[in-house]
């Protein structure tokens, strides 16, 4: 039960080409005649065009589901104080169960609507978990609530195998790990480096879950999540680790060894395990990027260029060199596995690296007008050159695929 997205132009062309090659092979082998080949080609092309939902329907279902969930939330919140604890718990159970029941009834006739209902039901499960804790005054570790929500989403994915449940799992499992980390390392900056190493490595693992022409809906979803989170995680990690402590809490007490060991183990092993499961032997590139992330954030930690005003040209240059190397590596990775999004991210990362180096090293040393002129020239000339390079690389990739 899942949305069946209409394929983009490139995918449709590739699919029609593959079908046509099969039909031509059957005709050449004498299995079918020319008339049958023509009818098969017409049928397959028409069938392919009928199977996809058009984007207005997808948008309507997406926003309709969000609006229904928001409206029910507002209605319940407005009357929450007037309800008894039993009535509140009944409403919670009703919200969690009703949408899944509606999804089950619409699964055969309208699978996309069923996916929407099941998605709202899983979202309601999270609200129900925390509302139940409030109703019965449960004083538990709040991260456990996120874990229960993730378990529910995992059960939903195991039963339904749809992309919405996969999205919940992909977001809630890291959210649970982050919640546990935040509780275990409260007011402790010393674990920010391994934290961001793990988070950036996880974004890369999500991004690279899709290999070659793999059209799995779940892997496409993971690639979107990884692509959208990669640059924000890298930038935020550089900014925050530049001020992180090395081995002490803010109150001056030493970092517990067990906490440090668990933090490092999860940061390194969790994304690498996923990479091995999804990519097999090709996960060696993910291992290399974990090492790159460690160098990046430790360099940012020691350079401390964003908040402390340290003018150490060597460490600053090393930081931007690492960013450039990582960006070029993504371009190479995209060419190797024929993935356009990695090429685009690599080009974007390289452009941000150049802009960051200009802002930190040159802009403050020039006059106001000269710095603005230099920035304008850099954006115009650099943007033109990078876009031209990106198009050439994408064309090269498509020519070799």
Question: 387 and 316 in one domain?
Answer: yes
Distance CA 286, CA 271 (A): 9
Question: 195 and 303 in one domain?
Answer: yes
Question: 220 and 142 in one domain?
Answer: no
Instruction: Determine, yes or no, domain membership for 147.
Output: yes
User: Which sign, positive or negative, has the C-alpha torsion 342, 15, 62, 220?
Assistant: negative
Instruction: Determine, yes or no, domain membership for 299.
Output: yes
Question: 301 and 191 in one domain?
Answer: yes
Which of these three, 310, 328, 351, is where a domain ends?
310
Count of the separate structural domains present in the chain: 3
Distance CA 30, CA 325 (A): 54
Instruction: Please identify which residue in the block is written with the tokens 């390392």.
Output: 185
Residues 6+ apart with CB under 8 A from 161: 1, 2
Q: pLDDT per position in the chain (401 positions), as tens?
A: 333 333 333 444 444 556 677 777 777 877 777 778 777 777 666 554 444 455 566 667 667 777 776 776 676 666 666 777 777 788 778 878 888 888 888 888 888 888 888 888 888 888 788 878 777 777 767 888 899 999 999 999 999 888 889 999 999 999 999 998 888 887 677 788 899 999 999 999 999 998 877 668 888 899 999 999 999 999 999 888 876 644 445 555 666 788 888 889 999 999 999 999 999 999 999 999 999 999 999 888 876 644 444 455 666 778 888 999 999 999 999 888 888 889 899 999 888 888 877 776 666 566 666 667 776 777 777 777 878 888 888 787 777 76
Instruction: Determine, yes or no, domain membership for 6.
Output: no
Judge whether 84 and 66 are in contact, CB under 8 Å. no
Question: 215 and 306 in one domain?
Answer: yes
Q: What is the 3-state secondary structure (H, E, C) of 24-66?
A: HHHHHCCCCCHHHHHHHHHHHHHHHHHHCECHHHHHHHHHHHH
Instruction: Determine, yes or no, domain membership for 138.
Output: yes
Angle among Cα 181, 182, 184 to the nearest 5 degrees reads 65
| Pick from 156, 191, 185: nearest CA to 170 | 156
Domain that holds residue 220: 186-310
pTM attached to this predicted model: 0.76
Instruction: Determine, yes or no, domain membership for 173.
Output: yes
Question: 190 and 299 in one domain?
Answer: yes
Residue 222 Cα to chain centre, angstroms: 5
């Amino acid at each position: 039960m899942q949305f069946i997205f209409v394929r983009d132009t490139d995918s449709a062309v590739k699919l029609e080409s593959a079908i046509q090659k099969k039909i031509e092979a059957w005709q050449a082998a004498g299995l079918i005649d020319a008339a049958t080949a023509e009818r098969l080609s017409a049928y397959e092309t028409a069938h392919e065009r009928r199977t996809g939902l058009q984007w207005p329907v997808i948008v309507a279902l997406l926003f309709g589901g969000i609006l229904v969930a928001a409206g029910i939330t507002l209605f319940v919140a407005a009357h929450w104080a007037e309800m008894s604890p039993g009535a509140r718990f009944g409403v919670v159970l009703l919200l969690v169960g009703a949408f899944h029941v509606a999804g089950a009834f619409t699964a055969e006739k309208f699978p996309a609507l069923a996916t929407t209902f099941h998605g709202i039901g899983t979202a309601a499960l999270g609200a129900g978990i925390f509302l139940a804790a409030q109703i019965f005054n449960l004083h538990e570790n709040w991260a456990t609530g996120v874990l229960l929500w993730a378990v529910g989403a995992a059960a939903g994915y195991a039963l339904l195998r749809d992309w919405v449940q996969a999205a919940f799992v992909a977001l809630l499992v890291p959210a649970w790990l982050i919640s546990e980390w935040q509780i275990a390392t409260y007011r402790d900056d010393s674990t920010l480096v391994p934290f961001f190493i793990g988070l950036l490595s996880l974004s890369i693992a999500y991004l690279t879950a899709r290999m070659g022409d793999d059209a799995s809906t779940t892997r496409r979803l993971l690639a979107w999540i990884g692509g959208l989170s990669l640059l924000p995680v890298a930038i935020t990690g550089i900014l925050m680790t530049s001020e992180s402590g090395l081995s002490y809490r803010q109150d001056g007490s030493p970092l517990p060894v067990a906490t440090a060991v668990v933090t490092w183990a999860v940061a390194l092993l969790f994304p690498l395990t996923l990479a091995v499961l999804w990519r097999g032997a090709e996960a060696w590139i993910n291992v290399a990027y974990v090492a790159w992330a460690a160098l990046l954030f430790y360099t940012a930690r020691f350079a401390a260029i964003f908040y402390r005003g340290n003018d150490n040209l060597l460490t600053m240059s090393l930081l931007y060199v690492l960013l450039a190397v990582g960006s070029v590596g993504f371009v190479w990775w995209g060419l190797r596995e024929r993935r356009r999004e990695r090429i685009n991210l690599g080009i974007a990362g390289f452009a941000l690296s150049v802009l960051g180096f200009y802002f930190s090293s040159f802009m403050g040393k020039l006059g106001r007008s000269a710095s603005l002129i230099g920035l304008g020239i850099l954006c115009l000339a650099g943007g033109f050159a990078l876009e031209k390079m990106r198009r050439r690389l994408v064309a090269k990739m498509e020519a070799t695929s």
